[in-house]
Amino acid sequence: MVAVEQYLKPELAAQIKRLDLRAKMIVRGFLHGLHASPFHGFSVEFSEHRRYSPGDDPKDIDWVAYAKTGKYYVKKFESETNLTGYLAIDLSQSMDYTYRQQLTKLDYCICLAAALAYLMISQQDPVGLVTFDTKLGANVPPRSRRSQLPTILSHLTKLKAQGQTDLAGSLVQLSAMLKTRSLVMLFSDLLTDEEPMLRSLRNLRHSGHDIIVFHVLDEAEVTFPFQGSLQLHDPESGASEPVRAADAAEAYRKTIQEFRDRLDREFNESRIDYVPLDTSMPYDKALMEYLLNRRNRF
Q: Model confidence at 15, in pLDDT bands (50, 70, 90)?
A: very low
138 in the same domain as 61: no
Tell whether 33 is covered by a domain. no
Report how many domains make up the chain: 2
94 in the same domain as 74: no
Domain range enclosing 177: 4-19+82-297
pLDDT of amino acid 19: 31
pLDDT of residue 29 exceeding 90, the answer is no
Tell whether 28 is covered by a domain. no
Identity of the highest mean pLDDT range in 146-150, 260-264, 289-293 = 260-264
Least confident of 49-53, 128-132, 205-209: 49-53
pLDDT of residue 73 exceeding 90, the answer is no
Tell whether 25 is covered by a domain. no
- Contact 52/61 with Cβ under 8 angstroms? yes
Q: Model confidence at 1, in pLDDT bands (50, 70, 90)?
A: very low
127 in the same domain as 264: yes
CA distance 49 to 78: 12
CATH code (residue 192) = 3.40.50.410
Region class of 146: left (phi > 0), else alpha (psi between -120 and 50), else beta: alpha
pLDDT of amino acid 25: 43
pLDDT of amino acid 8: 55
pLDDT of amino acid 69: 80
135 in the same domain as 255: yes
Tell whether 52 is covered by a domain. yes
pLDDT of amino acid 58: 76
Task: Give the chain's mean pLDDT.
Answer: 78
pLDDT of residue 113 exceeding 50, the answer is yes
Contact partners, residue 103, CB within 8 Å, separation at least 6: 111, 279, 283
88 in the same domain as 72: no
Q: Model confidence at 37, in pLDDT bands (50, 70, 90)?
A: very low
Share of the chain above pLDDT 90, in %: 40
Tell whether 196 is covered by a domain. yes
CA distance 192 to 5: 31
pLDDT of amino acid 78: 44
Identity of the highest mean pLDDT range in 80-94, 95-109, 230-244 = 95-109
263 in the same domain as 136: yes
Q: Which residue has the higher pLDDT, 271 or 76?
A: 271
The sign of the torsion formed by the CA atoms of 143, 146, 148, 152 equals positive
Closest by CA to 278, choosing from 229, 195, 215, 213, is 215
128 in the same domain as 53: no
Computed on alpha carbons and rounded to an integer, the radius of gyration of the chain in Å comes to 22
Q: Which residue has the higher pLDDT, 50 or 264?
A: 264
Tell whether 239 is covered by a domain. yes
151 in the same domain as 226: yes
pLDDT of residue 53 exceeding 80, the answer is no
Identity of the highest mean pLDDT range in 29-43, 70-84, 209-223 = 209-223
CA distance 284 to 242: 37
75 in the same domain as 146: no
